[in-house]
Amino acid sequence: MSKKNIAIIFGGASSEHEVSRRSASCIIENINREKYNVILIGITKSGKWYLCNGNIKSIINGSWENRHDNLPAFISPDTSTQGIIVLKDDNYSIIKVDAVIPVLHGKNGEDGTIQGLLQLAKIPFVGCDLLSSATCMDKIDTNIILTHCGIQKAKFTYTTAFDFNKDKELCIEAIETNIGNYPMFVKPSSAGSSVGVSKANNRSELIDAIKIAIKEDSRVLIEENIEGQEVECAILGNDNPISSIVGEIAPSNEFYDYEAKYQSENSKLYIPAHIDSQVSKNLREIAIKAYKAMGCSGLSRVDFFIQKETNNILLNEINTFPGFTSISMYPKLFGASGIDCTTLIDNLINLALERTL
Ligand SMILES: Nc1ncnc2c1ncn2[C@@H]1O[C@H](COP(=O)(O)OP(=O)(O)O)[C@@H](O)[C@H]1O
Ligand SMILES: [Mg+2]
């Protein structure tokens, strides 16, 4: 069988650009080279696309951007191209691709934008499609859809920059009426890596928290504060997905903020999570139900809280292209479930090729 051409897209105009470079490095290192030729496309933080010849080290540290042999390259939306257009001087060439792995986190990558382009181009790609990527990226939409499907969530409400700026008093009163007690969690509806997320302990902190959140997105989600464990379940598959065992995160800070996620050495992952087997079984079923309700395919990581005392399972969010670094929960959870990283990537590519766009 001839080798398939797989394009790995990394970086991106996103606040999670650096994490994407590390996730891509893990995939580049572990993809089966006997089955796949790998083509690398790097997107800079400002949104420039290049065919990248850099090695893994230069991708991790970002120095690939300074290479003189970087050529502008992009996916053609034209279905007859089925690949990447590479520009050199006044000429262009085409590299055909069999599938794309958009290893992009957050805005402009995990939110349906790239997925839409690949759907237009009719090029198979790993992960959720346009609609499920876009709705999972938006926390308000996710909450509305999942609540409608009977999946338990923290009590929530939402506001917009426009309403908040028009009448702060009215806006705050409505939030207090809907949520009840402080503390509350305030989040930009569409963001990631805890950017713009704050815990508000009183009215004046709530006002500050909304001001912070609206810098990231004009739509803002407000939730009751949940006391409990944070646990995560990895899902793999299209119409008949499987769930991994459940992992737990123990943030080093008061909550899992940016520092605790990426900078602190003190945040811990436990695989399996410290939860009893019945809770784990129920949670895995809920994770699959939510994955299907959102129309996910390929992969996602479904994040939950297990509430103290009651052991209530509350869904927090779904990440359609979760961190895929060597120390990330997603590959680790499947590793612990008996699927090594090379097999996992192979499965993901097969799922992409199987799906009809
Ligand atoms: N309702 C909540 N109650 C308690 N903690 C929360 C709540 N919502 C979020 N958090 C904390 O904030 C972190 C980031 O929020 P999350 O919704 O996961 O956003 P992101 O997409 O940025 O990861 C979570 O990992 C958790 O530690
Ligand atoms: Mg999260």
Domain ranges of the chain: 4-125, 136-152+226-354, 156-224
- Please tell me the number of the ligand nearest to residue 225's CA: 1
pTM recorded for the entire structure: 0.96
- The atom of ligand 1 lying closest to the CA of 224 is 1
pLDDT by residue (tens digit) across 89-101? 999 999 999 999 9
Q: How far is the CA of 191 from the centre of ligand 2 (A)?
A: 10
Architecture in CATH for domain 156-224: 2-Layer Sandwich (3.30)
Lowest mean pLDDT among 79-93, 199-213, 257-271: 257-271
Q: How far is the CA of 319 from the centre of ligand 1 (A)?
A: 12
pLDDT by residue (tens digit) across 316-345? 999 999 999 988 999 999 999 999 999 999
Which CATH homologous superfamily contains domain 136-152+226-354?
Answer: ATP-grasp fold, B domain (3.30.470.20)
216, 161 in Cβ contact below 8 A?
A: no
* Residue 357 scores a pLDDT above 80: no
* Residue 56 scores a pLDDT above 90: yes
Q: How far is the CA of 35 from the centre of ligand 2 (A)?
A: 34
Architecture in CATH for domain 4-125: 3-Layer(aba) Sandwich (3.40)
> What are the pocket residues of ligand 1 if the criterion is a CB atom closer than 6 Å to any ligand atom?
154, 185, 187, 191-194, 197, 223, 225-226, 230, 251, 255-256, 303, 316-317
- Whether 136-152+226-354 and 156-224 share one fold: the answer is no
Most ligand 1 atoms within 8 A of CB, residue of 157, 194, 302 to mutate: 194
Most ligand 1 atoms within 8 A of CB, residue of 255, 305, 314 to mutate: 255
Rounded to an integer, the average pLDDT of 194-223 is 96
Most ligand 1 atoms within 8 A of CB, residue of 181, 185, 206, 229 to mutate: 185
pLDDT at residue 11, as a whole number:
97
Q: How far apart are alpha carbons 23 and 326 in whole angstroms? A: 8
pLDDT by residue (tens digit) across 250-269? 988 888 888 887 777 778 89
270, 223 in Cβ contact below 8 A?
A: no
Q: How far is the CA of 197 from the centre of ligand 1 (A)?
A: 7
Q: Considering only CA atoms, which residue is closest to atom 22 of ligand 1?
A: 194
> How does residue 113 score in pLDDT terms, banded at 50, 70 and 90?
very high
Q: How far is the CA of 34 from the centre of ligand 1 (A)?
A: 40
Q: Considering only CA atoms, which residue is closest to atom 1 of ligand 1?
A: 225
pLDDT at residue 262, as a whole number:
77
